[in-house]
């Protein structure tokens, strides 16, 4: 399934959950705070800007934000929050689309680099970030840590969360380094709703090598946006890569 087919009008309509989930103040607040700091007074470019979950509050903080987004329905949802002058958006692929201007910050949040399903595309995403950045500019990636080691021997499925109205599980293809996330949601009836999304998972060390190929150096890595220490028990990370200032 192509990404354009996944992020259709129906998904875009259900994407925003104001005040809860990834829109909860305790999730979104530290994200925007850290990105505003890393922009360092310059302009920011968001790959896969979506409905503007991060871009809109970051722009409200005074950081000029431009977005790249593959899904037209997601952009239409964003336009209900901010006009083109406030958050300009170019419709296209984050691995290849070039937008006007130079930026001190490019960022890609909430595991979205894994939507690119080949290693080559993921490397191109780094190179695309590099071509948009000024010397000394930063590329920030928020990404989960793969957990295929938790799959039972001889099986390829892990259940990563359960709630009374929701079950999330992943099916792994260890040879191809692919994972499909399955999201089961339950209502008051006996029927459940299933949404699936394919990903290519990336180890932190592999991500660092992709960065090196594009001319970046790893500046910091933390377990979350608040700066918590990244350890072998961390389930996600926020990695900040920087183009050398002398470039």
pLDDT digits (tens, 9 = 90+) for 118-159: 999 999 999 999 999 999 999 999 999 988 776 666 678 888
CATH 3.40.50.150 fits 3-145+202-242, yes or no: yes
**Residue length of the chain:** 247
Structure tokens at 136: 């000394």
φ, ψ of residue 13 in degrees (nearest 5) = -65, -35
32 within 8 A of 57, measured Cβ to Cβ: yes
Q: What is the mean pLDDT of the chain?
A: 91
Q: For residue 238, is pLDDT > 90?
A: yes
Structure tokens at 232: 């072998």
Residue 3's pLDDT band, with cuts at 50, 70 and 90, is: low
Q: For residue 1, is pLDDT > 70?
A: no
> Domain coordinates of the chain in residue numbers?
3-145+202-242, 148-198
Q: What is the pTM of this model?
A: 0.89
Give pLDDT tens digits for 55-105: 999 999 999 999 999 999 999 999 999 999 999 999 999 999 999 999 999
217-222 sheet: strands from edge to edge: 89-91, 65-69, 44-47, 103-108, 133-144, 236-242, 217-222
Q: For residue 221, is pLDDT > 70?
A: yes
- Give 131's strand partners: none
Give pLDDT tens digits for 165-218: 889 888 888 888 998 888 888 888 888 888 888 999 999 999 999 999 999 999
DSSP 3-state of 111 = coil
Token pair 């950081």: residue: 63
Does 237 or 179 have the greater pLDDT score? 237
Q: For residue 12, is pLDDT > 80?
A: no
Judging by DSSP bridges, how do beta strands 192-200 and 133-144 pair with one another? unpaired
Mean pLDDT across 9-14: 69
pLDDT of 15: 72
How many Å apart are CA 189 and CA 17, to the nearest integer? Answer: 22
The stretches of 173-228 forming alpha helices (DSSP H) are 204-213
How many Å apart are CA 26 and CA 20, to the nearest integer? Answer: 9
How many Å apart are CA 29 and CA 101, to the nearest integer? Answer: 27
pLDDT of 79: 95
Structure tokens at 75: 């952009």
pLDDT of 2: 59
How many Å apart are CA 196 and CA 92, to the nearest integer? Answer: 22
pLDDT of 239: 98
Judging by DSSP bridges, how do beta strands 44-47 and 65-69 pair with one another? parallel
Q: Is the dihedral of CA 86, 92, 93, 98 positive or negative?
A: negative
pLDDT of 37: 98
Q: Radius of gyration over alpha carbons of the chain, in Å?
A: 18
Mean pLDDT across 36-55: 96
How many Å apart are CA 219 and CA 201, to the nearest integer? Answer: 22
87 within 8 A of 55, measured Cβ to Cβ: yes
């Amino acid at each position: 399934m192509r990404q354009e087919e996944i992020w259709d009008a129906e998904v875009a309509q259900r994407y925003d959950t104001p005040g809860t989930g990834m829109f909860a103040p305790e999730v979104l607040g530290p994200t925007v705070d850290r990105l505003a700091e890393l922009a360092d007074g310059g302009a920011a470019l968001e790959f896969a800007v979506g409905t503007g979950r991060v871009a809109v509050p970051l722009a409200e903080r005074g950081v000029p934000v431009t977005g790249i987004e593959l899904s037209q329905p997601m952009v239409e949802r964003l336009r209900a929050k901010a006009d083109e002058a406030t958050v300009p958006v170019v419709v296209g692929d984050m691995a290849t689309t070039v937008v006007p201007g130079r930026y001190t910050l490019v960022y890609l949040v909430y595991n979205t680099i894994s939507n690119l399903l080949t290693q080559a595309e993921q490397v191109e995403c780094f190179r695309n970030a590099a071509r948009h950045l000024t010397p000394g500019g930063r590329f920030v990636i928020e990404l989960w840590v793969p957990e295929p080691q938790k799959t039972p021997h001889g099986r390829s499925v892990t259940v990563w969360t359960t709630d009374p109205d929701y079950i999330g599980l992943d099916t792994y293809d260890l040879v191809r380094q692919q994972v499909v996330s399955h999201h089961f949601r339950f209502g008051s009836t006996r029927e459940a709703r299933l949404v699936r999304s394919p990903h290519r998972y990336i180890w932190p060390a592999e991500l660092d090598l992709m960065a090196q190929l594009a001319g970046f150096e790893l500046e910091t890595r933390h377990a979350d946006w608040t700066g918590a220490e990244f350890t072998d028990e961390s389930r996600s990370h926020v990695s900040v890569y920087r183009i050398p200032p002398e470039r």
